[in-house]
Amino acid sequence: METTGNCRCNAVTVRVSADIQTGELQPRRCDCDYCRSKPSGLISHPSMQVSVGVPLSALKAEKNGDRLATFFRCKTCDDLIAVGGEIDGEWRGAVNADLLACRAEFGDDVAISPKTLSPSEKQARWKMLWGRITDLSDALTLQLVNQVLPYFGRQPALDITRYGIARPDNVVA
Ligand SMILES: [Zn+2]
Q: What share of the chain is helix, strand, coil (3-state, %, to 5)?
A: 30, 30, 40
**Count of alpha carbons within 13 angstroms of residue 11, beta-carbon side:** 15
* Calpha distance 63→84 (Å, rounded): 10
What was the pLDDT predicted at 171? 44
What was the pLDDT predicted at 33? 85
**Count of alpha carbons within 13 angstroms of residue 150, beta-carbon side:** 11
Q: Whole-structure pTM over 0.85, yes or no?
A: no
Cβ neighbours, 10 Å, residue 161: 10
The Å distance, Cα 81 to ligand 1 centre, comes to: 9
The Å distance, Cα 84 to ligand 1 centre, comes to: 18
Q: With CA atoms as reference, report the closest residue to 91 among 134, 126, 54.
A: 134
The Å distance, Cα 43 to ligand 1 centre, comes to: 19
The Å distance, Cα 13 to ligand 1 centre, comes to: 9
Q: What is the pLDDT along the chain (173 residues), one digit of tens a residue?
A: 999 999 999 999 999 999 999 999 999 998 888 888 888 999 999 999 999 999 999 999 999 777 889 999 999 999 999 999 988 888 999 999 999 999 999 999 999 988 889 988 998 999 999 999 999 887 777 777 777 777 777 665 555 554 444 444 444 44
42 burial level (CB within 10 Å; 0-12, 13-18, 19+): buried
- Contact predicate 82/19, CB 8 Å: no
Q: Does domain 2-134 have CATH number 3.30.70.270?
A: no
The Å distance, Cα 36 to ligand 1 centre, comes to: 20
Task: Name the residue ranges covered by the structural domains of the chain.
Answer: 2-134, 135-173
Protein residues with C-beta less than 5 angstroms from the ion ligand 1: 7, 9, 11, 74, 76-77
- DSSP E strand boundaries for 88-153: 90-96, 110-112, 131-134
Q: 87 has which bridge partners?
A: 90
Q: Which helix (H) or strand (E) holds 127?
A: helix 119-129
DSSP 30: E
* Calpha distance 110→121 (Å, rounded): 19
